[in-house]
Amino acid sequence: MHIGNGIARHYRIGRVPGVLAISLHRLLGWPKLFRAYPPGIRTSVYLRLRTSDMKVYSDVLIGGEYGFDLPFAPKTIVDAGANIGMASIFFARRYPGAKIIAIEPEASNFSLLMRNVRAYSAIVPIHAALWNRDGQISVGDPDPETGAGGKWAFVTREGPGAKVRAVTMPTLMQEMGVRTIDLAKIDIEGAEQELFQDTKWLAGTECVMIGLHDRFRPGCSEVVNSAMQGFTRMHRSETDFYLRGTRSGIPH
């Protein structure tokens, strides 16, 4: 990123303290974290400087990336690929009556997720990866040819890498004591191919917001679209939105 663009982004997010933080970090290597105050939210969030955290924060808590107008108020939300908790916080603010299960496999992301959602009793952080079996799976960087990087593009896969618990959606639901999912936000960097191999959990799911990652794993869109028969689909920015056909209305 060009230095001027980086400073401009930090000013938009954190005003003068944001610019000061990034300047000190470039010169001295500290601070490692920046404390941001999302508009309209009393609690602050922590972001790692010079990582993708700033973009995720800007897209979700400022830009409202998941701000679709649903024709119902979800009571059970699964935030799969919760990263550092921005979407979970957005949902907690938008749907105060909901229970939010935030599942994130990458260790450094999960550590910051725990810190960011501490003030929200409705958010339950889970250190694991959604997969097509229960057990263990590896977390690693994507293929360099995808151009992905930062702290958001980690992929789960068989083979070498840091090990993390692997869990199926039915197992997660059983352990969390939920029988149906009102809203599933899914951003799991290509593992949608494994997640959607068993689609029984979709029978009790009303809405899915998903980022498809064909650039990591070709064929993701085909697998998901095939599984989502009976849902109304729309696309906005980088998110595909599926609403069960029995629900009236289409979100904006």
Does residue 78 lie within any of the structural domains? yes
Does residue 252 lie within any of the structural domains? no
pTM for the whole structure: 0.85
Lowest mean pLDDT of 1-5, 136-140, 162-166, 208-212, name the range.
1-5
**Are residues 151 and 93 both part of a single domain?**
yes
Token pair recorded at residue 184: 């599933």
**Are residues 52 and 109 both part of a single domain?**
no
pLDDT exceeds cutoff 70 at 35 = yes
Task: Specify the number of domains making up the chain.
Answer: 2
CATH of the domain at 128: 3.40.50.150
Angle at 91 between CA 203 and CA 63, to 5 degrees: 120
**Are residues 165 and 48 both part of a single domain?**
no
Does residue 251 lie within any of the structural domains? no
pLDDT exceeds cutoff 60 at 150 = no
Q: Which range in 35-44, 116-125, 188-197 is most confidently predicted, on average pLDDT?
A: 116-125
Q: Give yes or no for a contact between 14 and 39, defined as CB atoms under 8 angstroms apart.
A: no
Residues 87-115: what's their mean pLDDT? 97
Supply the range of the domain harboring residue 91. 64-244
Query: Would you state the pLDDT for residue 50?
Result: 77
Residues 215-235: what's their mean pLDDT? 91
